[in-house]
Chains A and B, each alone.
Chain A
C-alpha cells in the first residue's frame, strides 16, 4: 500500500513547487503576450524582411493621343544597369579560390560594361573597387538592344547575377519628334511631367507602381509557393487632345519656312481654333525642341550662336556667360510662345475696335474718316503707315487699308469707358483659362490711366500687350456670332480600361457683340482679303475673312535704339459661316519684309490651301476662275504632230515644234503632268534634235505683267502664285528656277507675288 504524502511533502508541493510553477507559467504567459501581441507587428516585419522579398512593378505613364487617336507621347520599357561592387568582389574571390580561369575578372567585366553601355571605363573601375557598396547605377534608360547584348555577355561568361543585373524602368517616347513639343512638354528622369500637358495633367498621367511579394530561400532565390502577394501596377490615364496631327504638321511646316525666309529672330507662333467650340486644332511655336532630348538646343541658329560664343570665349567670365546664354536659350525653346509671351497685337486689334464701335453704334458702315497721313491727338502726332495719307475712307475701306487715323477716330467715337468695357468683354483683361500651364496675364492700361493718347494708340493695337491665345479667342468672337468661348486642348481623359473619366465641354463665357454686328464684321473682313484683286492670304475658290497686323516693338526700341516689328495675320474660314480661325505671329522678321500681310499672311494661305480640303471644306470656283485655272501637260510621246497639237489645243495650250513635224513626238517641255497656265506653250521635239535652252531672267521685284513679258520672251512659261497675284501692287519675291540658269525652253517657272504693305 502507498504511503500518504507526508506533511513535509505537502509543504514542499504547496509552497515551493506550486509557486514556482505558477511563476513560471505567469512568466511564460507574459512573454507570450509580449511577443505575440505587443511585438507582433515588429516581429512580423522582421520575419517578412528575412523570408520575403518584394519586386516593384513599374506603372507606365498614360499615353497622349491626338483627336484621331494617333499617338503623340507614350511610355516604353527601358532598363537601369546596376553593379554591386561587394558581390563582384565575392564573385572574383570565389573564382580565384576555386581556380576557375575561364571567368572574367573585375577589369574585364568593367571594360565590357563600358563598351556596351558607352560609359567611362576608369570611373567604372574605380567605383567597382568600393566593396562596401552593393548598389551602383552604371547607367539609366538603357534600350532593349543594348540590354540584350549585355545579358548575352553576362550569360555567356556566367557572371554572378547579383554582381551585375538590370532593373526595369520607364522612358517617355515622342514618336513625332519636335511636332507639338511646346504643347506636350516633356518628363524628367523620374517620369514626372515638366512643362506643357505632361505637367498640367501629371496627376492623371502618372500611374501607381505595383509590387509582388514572394518567399525567398537562404540564397535569396524565389520559392514557388501559391501565396505570393501581388499588388498590380495601375497604369496612368490616357489623354486625347483636340489637336489634329495633320493640321499641326502643316502649320509647323509653313511656319518653319516663314521663319527661315524672313529670318525671324524671336520665334514665330500659330494657332488654329474651332471658332464655335474653342477646341484648339493646332498650336505651334518655331523653332521649338525635340522632347526626346529636351536638354539639347534644337534650332540651328541657336547652336551656331553658342558655337560662336564658345569660340570667342577666352576667360572664365566669358565661359560663364556662354553657359548662362545656353541655359537661357534652352529654357526659351521650351516655352509655348502662344500662351506665355505678350506682344502688341497691331492692326489685327482693329477687328475688335471696329466690332465694338459697330455694336455700340458709334459708327456705321457708311461712316467716313479722313486720313492725311497722321493724326494729332492731344499734342502727339501719330502717323499712319501710309505717310502720304489715304484720303477719305468708309468703314470697310478703313479696315481694308488698315488706316491708323481712321481707327483713332473710331476709338475716340467709343470713348475710354466703352473702349475699356469692350476690351474686357473680349477677354483681354483676364486669362483665357486654357488648360495649359504658364498662361501669361496681359499688360494693359487701366481705365483710370487711359488718356486720349493711350486711347488712340490702343485703338489700332499698340500700347496694350496681349497673348496670342487671347487675340485668337477675341477674333473668334468677332466672327462666330459674338460669343467669347474658352479655348481648350484636352478633349477627354480615358482610364486604362478604356472608360472615359472626364470630358471637356465647350464653354461660352459671354455674348460680347450681337449676331448682326458679327455678320457685318465677317463681310468687312472678307472684303479685306479679296479687295484690290486679293491680298496675300487669298486662295482661289475659298471665302476667307482676315486681317493683318504689323506692330512696332516700342519697348525694345527704347532699350536698343532699333525698331523691331511683330508681323501677324488672323483669318477665319469659310467667311460666310466660319468654322476655324487661324492666327500667325512672326516676332522680329529681319529678312527685309516685316508687314504682317507679307510675312504672316502667306503662312495662313499655305496652311489653309492644304488644311481646308483635309477638313472637308472644298473650293467652289466661279466660271471665271475655272476658265483662268492652270492645266496640266498631257502625255504626248509617240504621237504624230497633228494629234499632239490637237491634244494640246483641247487643253488650251499651244504647241511649238522644234525642227520638222515628221515622225512622232520624242520629247517635250514642260513634261507630262507639269502644271502650266492656259495659253502656255509646250516645246515639242519630233526627232533627235538637240534640246534648246535659254537663260532664266531675274524677275524679282517686277510686277506680274513685267515678269510675264520677261519670262515668255526668254522662251519659258510663267506660273504665278500667291494670293495677291491679281493685285496691281503685287511684286515678284521669288522664282522657282534661279536667275541665270540655262534650262530647256518651255520650262515652267513659278513666280511668287506678294503685296508688301500694311494693306489687308
Chain B
C-alpha cells in the first residue's frame, strides 16, 4: 500500500488555503541610455531655423515688393513714353498744318516778295549722255621725271608713309 500516502502529516490545510500569490517583481532591465543633449543646443537650432525661415519669408516679401515697385516704374515709364509719342504726333500735326504748300507759297509771295522762277530764268544744258568709265591712273604719256616721282610715291605708299 505504497500507493496510499502514509504519512504522519496532518492534513496540510495550508494546501487548501488560498495561496498568496507572490508577485514576481521583475527587476527592471537597466538599459544605459545615451546622454541627453543639452537643451541650449536645441534652442539655438530652433532659433536658427526660425531665423532662416523668417529670412526666406522676408526675402520673398521684399522680392515681391521690389517687383511691384519696378513694375510700377515700368508702367509709369511706358505711360510717359506713350504720352510723349502722342504729344509728338499732335505737335507734328500742328507743324505740318503750318507748312503746307499753300501757306509757304502765300508767305513767299505776299510777305517776302518772292516770285517763282520763269522758264527763261532756267538754262538747260545738254550733257553727253554716252556712258563711260573713268579709269584712274596715268593718262597719256608721262615723262621720265614723272615716272621717277610715281615710283618713289609707290615705295613710300608701300612703306606706309
* Chain B contacts with A in 79-108, Cβ cutoff 8 A: 86-87, 89-90, 92-93, 96-97, 100-102
Within 8 A of B (CB), among A120-173: 144, 173
B124:A176 contact, CB within 8 angstroms: no
Near A by CB (< 8 A), chain B positions 42-65 give: 64
Which residue of A226, A246, A610 contacts B67 across the interface (Cβ within 8 Å)?
Answer: A226
Q: Across the A-B interface, how many residue pairs have beta carbons closer than 8 Å?
A: 73
Task: Check A175–B96 contact: CB distance below 8 A.
Answer: yes
The smallest beta-carbon distance between A397 and chain B, in angstroms, is 30
CA distance A74 to B75 in the complex (A): 26
Least CB distance, B124 to chain A, in whole angstroms:
6
The answer on a CB contact under 8 Å between A632 and B120 is: yes
Total interface residues on B, using CB and 8 Å? 25
Query: A224 near B71 (CB under 8 angstroms)?
Result: yes
Quote the shortest CB–CB distance from A70 to chain B (angstroms).
8
The reply to whether the CB of A375 lies closer than 8 angstroms to some CB of chain B is no
Chain B CB within 10 Å, residue with most, of A249, A610, A621 = A249
- The docked-state distance in angstroms from the alpha carbon of A641 to that of B67 is 88
By the criterion CB–CB under 8 Å, are A224 and B72 in contact? yes
B118: Cβ under 8 A from any A Cβ: yes
Partner of B90, one of A144, A176, A226: A144
Tell me if A629 counts as interface (CB < 8 A to partner B). Answer: yes
Interface: B68 (CB within 8 A): yes
Q: B121 in the interface, Cβ–Cβ < 8 Å?
A: yes
Contact between chains at B89 and A74 (CB < 8 Å): yes
Q: In whole angstroms, how far apart are the Cα atoms of A542 and B64 in the complex?
A: 76
B93, A76: Cβ atoms closer than 8 Å = yes
CB–CB B64/A226 < 8 A:
yes
With contact pairs A74-B89, A226-B64, A675-B120 given, residues A246 and B71 touching in the complex (Cβ less than 8 Å)? no
A224 touches B97 (CB 8 A): no
Q: In the complex, which residues 104-146 of chain B have their Cβ closer than 8 Å to any Cβ of chain A?
A: 115-116, 118-121, 124
Q: Which of A60, A177, A629 contacts B119 (CB 8 A)?
A: A629
User: Does B155 make an interface contact (CB < 8 A)?
Assistant: no
**Set of chain B residues within 8 Å of A631, measured between Cβ atoms:** 120
Contact A77 B96 (CB under 8 A): no
Given contacts A144-B90, A226-B67, contact A618 B124 (CB under 8 A): yes
Q: Smallest CB–CB gap between B66 and chain A, Å?
A: 10
Q: Name the A residues within 8 Å of B115 (CB-CB).
A: 673
- Distance to closest chain A CB from B104 (angstroms): 10
A710 interfacial by beta-carbon distance below 8 Å: no
Q: Are A540 and B119 in contact (CB under 8 A)?
A: yes
Give the residue name and chain of the A residue nearest to B124 (CB). A618
In contact, B71 and A226 (Cβ under 8 angstroms):
yes
Is A653's beta carbon under 8 Å from chain B?
no
Contact A176 B100 (CB under 8 A): yes
Given the known inter-chain contacts A76-B93, A77-B90, A175-B96, please indicate yes or no for A630 contacting B71, CB distance below 8 A.
no
Chain B residues, CB < 8 A from A675: 118, 120-121
CB distance from A703 to the nearest CB of B (A): 23
Given known A176-B97, A224-B72, A226-B71, contact A249–B102 (CB-CB < 8 A): yes
Q: Which residues of B contact A673 (CB under 8 A)?
A: 115
CB contact under 8 A between A175 and B120, given known A77-B86, A228-B71: no
A232-254 at interface with B (beta carbon < 8 Å): 245-246, 249, 253
Q: Is the CB of B68 within 8 A of A71?
A: no
Given A228-B71, A632-B121, A675-B120, decide whether A76 and B90 contact each other with a Cβ distance below 8 A: yes
- Kindly provide the distance from the CB of A53 to the nearest chain B CB, expressed in whole angstroms: 14
Cβ–Cβ < 8 Å partners of A144 in chain B = 87, 90
Q: Is A619 an interface residue (CB 8 A)?
A: yes
Known: A226-B68, A249-B102. A541 touches B119 (CB 8 A): yes
Contact yes or no, B69 A249, CB < 8 A: no
A16 in the interface (beta carbon within 8 A): no
Q: A3 on the interface (CB 8 Å rule)?
A: no
Cβ-defined contact, B120 with A629, below 8 A: yes
What's the minimum C-beta distance from B156 to chain A, rounded to whole angstroms? 47
Residues on B with beta carbons closer than 8 Å to the beta carbon of A226: 64, 67-68, 71
A179 → chain B closest CB, angstroms = 7
* Contact, CB under 8 Å: B93 / A175: yes
The distance from the CB of A281 to the nearest CB of chain B, in whole angstroms, is: 15
A9 at the binding interface (Cβ < 8 Å): no
Q: Which of A175, A245, A609 has the most CB of B within 10 A?
A: A175
Name the residue of chain A whose CB is nearest to the CB of B122: A613
B101–A246 touching, CB < 8 Å = yes
Docked Cα-Cα span, A619 to B90, in Å, equals 42
Q: With A76-B89, A618-B124 given, is the CB distance from A71 to B118 under 8 Å?
A: no
What residues of A have a CB within 8 angstroms of the CB of B100 in the complex?
175-177, 179
Question: Considering the chains assembled together, what is the distance between the CA atoms of A619 and B118 in angstroms?
Answer: 13
Set of chain A residues within 8 Å of B68, measured between Cβ atoms:
224-226
CA distance A416 to B70 in the complex (A): 81
- Bound Cα distance from A228 to B125, whole angstroms: 68
Contact across chains for B89 and A224 when beta carbons are under 8 A apart: no
Instruction: Kindly report which residue of chain B lies nearest to residue A73, judged by CB atoms.
Output: B93
Q: Are A175 and B86 in contact (CB under 8 A)?
A: no
Measured between beta carbons, the chain A residues less than 8 angstroms from B72 are 224
A253 CB contacts on chain B under 8 angstroms: 102
* Minimum Cβ distance to chain A for residue B136 (Å): 31
| A76, A144, A228, A618 interface centre (most CB from chain B within 10 Å) | A76
> Which B residues are CB-close (under 8 A) to A609?
119
> 8 shortest A-B CB distances, which residue pairs?
A175-B96, A77-B86, A175-B97, A76-B90, A249-B101, A173-B93, A224-B72, A630-B120
Binding site for A on B (CB under 8 A): 64, 67-69, 71-72, 75, 86-87, 89-90, 92-93, 96-97, 100-102, 115-116, 118-121, 124
- Give 6 CB contacts A-B under 8 Å: A74-B89, A74-B93, A224-B71, A249-B102, A620-B124, A632-B121
Contacts A75-B89, A175-B100, A246-B101 aside, 8 further interface pairs with beta carbons under 8 A come to A60-B89, A173-B93, A175-B96, A176-B97, A179-B101, A224-B72, A253-B102, A675-B121
